[in-house]
Chain A
Amino acid sequence: MSEPQSVTETKTESEPTTRTDATGAIDIDHLTKIYDPKGEGVVAVDDMDLHIEAEEFVALLGPSGCGKSTVMNCLAGYLEPTEGDVLVDGDQVTGPDPKRGVVFQENRLFPWKTVQENVEFGPQMRDNIEDGRAQSILGEMGLEGFEDAYPSGLSGGMQQRAELARLLANDPDIMLMDEPFSALDALTKEIMQKKLIEVWERDNRTVVFITHDVEEAILLADRVVVMTARPGQVKDVIDVDLDRPRDPEIVTTERFTELRERALSVIREEAQRALEQEESV
């Protein structure tokens, strides 16, 4: 049951299996990240392999401290792998790129720019600000009337929507989201999840969504990649065969429960292992 099929797939073929018309396929190839390799050498990610199709929605799920964020930082290009590669559409990731947009856990809207200036930041970097585009994206995110507000004047949910708007204005192939909704209240979270699925289905982007919330992962993703406790590796890949659109009520269905139990059992096992690891140190 916990046989990681897609993992073995990527191990055998290093060439990405991208459809020619779709962009945003990701190959994580023997990714290893060791912090402070000359000193104590904390292995955050150990020889991880994963292939993500273009336009796929993949959730990375794992206990805290499992290296999810490290993987994300390598995908974004903020960190250089100690060993192995991260490839996007066959090209090696060497640094941050506007094709790979990032939404952070704590909002990273620029506090010194208005909401509109934040949203127009990406286009501005390429001297490509279109009149009205920011407004229409903000309108779509339910933020009309807040164009001239500063981020500090927005609620947590609105800040997260503004950050999503900033990402969409930049039109990335890949959206990397690091626990983007974990700080939101349940209702706001549900609205944001719906919004995210809406734009994902419409715009054909690849989404890599990090979360420690099992239900959120299953509710949103095509595939849930469960990671081991540190050092991070792929423990299990769960294909979520639930039809879309998925209502919040889907969590009560039998299939959802099965998937959740499967994910939870892996996570429990790993959490336990992590605990023992800590105790033995």
Chain B
Amino acid sequence: MDTRRRLVRIGSVLAVPILWFVASRFGLIPGLPSPGAVTTAYIAEFDRLDFWISTIQSTIRVLVSFAVAALVGIPLGLAIGRYSAFADLTFPALEMLRPIPPIAWIPFTILVLPAAELSIMFITFLGAFFPILLNTVQGARSVEVGYSRAAQSLGAGSFQTFRHVIYPGALPAIHAGMIVGMGLAWVNLIAAEMVAGGTGLGFLTWSAYTSGSYAVIIVGIITIGLLGAASSTLVRWFANWQIGWQEVEAA
């Protein structure tokens, strides 16, 4: 990348805190705490056990829900993409449920599920599940039939074709679904935590609102943003590690 583009990009990143500083300094947005106040609040939060528990709790919820979504969504998506009879059986039902915004499930799941924890996890799961599922279906369907035929003519059975051809062939699409799914998992998690209450960064941010601690609200927002970015990076790393062959292709 040439220097000019790099400078522009750095400028783009720096613009946010600068605008924030200007906006708070000149009172452009009433109530907006200054970067300094937020830094002080952040340092104070570091000393509070509750902040760390919330952070860890939210992270665990996202990771577990995401892992379950991947473990269910990927095999299901491969099967739907590969076997039209199975697709006819399951896909219309899933497609019917998909347009329901996951947050709309919150009241119902809180009532029905035995623990709020499960309810939050379920909502988070839904956020990651559908993007992973749909992309996997698409990926499995887009694998050229020639590859399956080649595998069969080399002696691969149905399962071996699945494992050595359909799955790796669908991986780029699966990864795209995982990256989107990770983002939506955080979106849904925070919403669920705000409504369901108890613990987590969503609840921490929400309770800061109810107590009027403007600076802590911003602390919550920043922490959530950082964790979201870190998880996306994690998924990208994993994806690149898993498909070295595509890197080669791109080079």
Contacts and interface: CB of A to CB of B under 8 A. Distances in A.
A111 B154 contact: no
A130 to B, nearest CB: 15
B248 A152 contact: yes
Contacts of A108: 144, 146-147, 149-150
Interface residues of A, number: 28
A110 B156 CA distance: 13
A97 B146 contact: no
A121 B248 contact: no
Nearest to A111: B245
Given A104-B146, A121-B164, A111 B249 contact: yes
A43 B155 CA distance: 30
B160 interface: yes
B245 A166 contact: no
B165 interface: yes
Given A106-B146, A110-B168, A170-B154, A125 B245 contact: no
A98 B160 CA distance: 14
A112 B168 contact: yes
Given A106-B146, A150-B249, A98 B155 contact: yes
A170 B152 CA distance: 12
Contact of B165 (A101, A110, A152, A170): A110
Nearest to A112: B168
Interface residues of B, number: 23
B149 A170 contact: no
Given A112-B171, A112-B243, A150-B248, A98 B146 contact: no
Contacts of B146: 104, 106, 108
B169 interface: yes
22 contacts: A76-B153, A78-B149, A96-B153, A98-B153, A110-B150, A110-B165, A110-B168, A111-B245, A112-B168, A112-B169, A112-B171, A112-B243, A113-B168, A121-B151, A121-B154, A122-B154, A125-B154, A125-B155, A150-B249, A152-B245, A152-B248, A170-B154
Interface of A: 76-78, 95-98, 100-102, 104, 106, 108, 110-114, 121-122, 125-126, 149-150, 152-153, 166, 170
Given A110-B151, A112-B169, A125-B156, 15 more contacts: A77-B153, A97-B153, A97-B155, A100-B153, A102-B149, A104-B149, A108-B149, A110-B147, A110-B165, A110-B168, A112-B168, A113-B168, A113-B245, A114-B245, A166-B154
Q: Ordered nearest first, which 6 A-B pairs have the shortest CB separation?
A: A98-B155, A96-B152, A112-B168, A125-B155, A122-B154, A108-B150
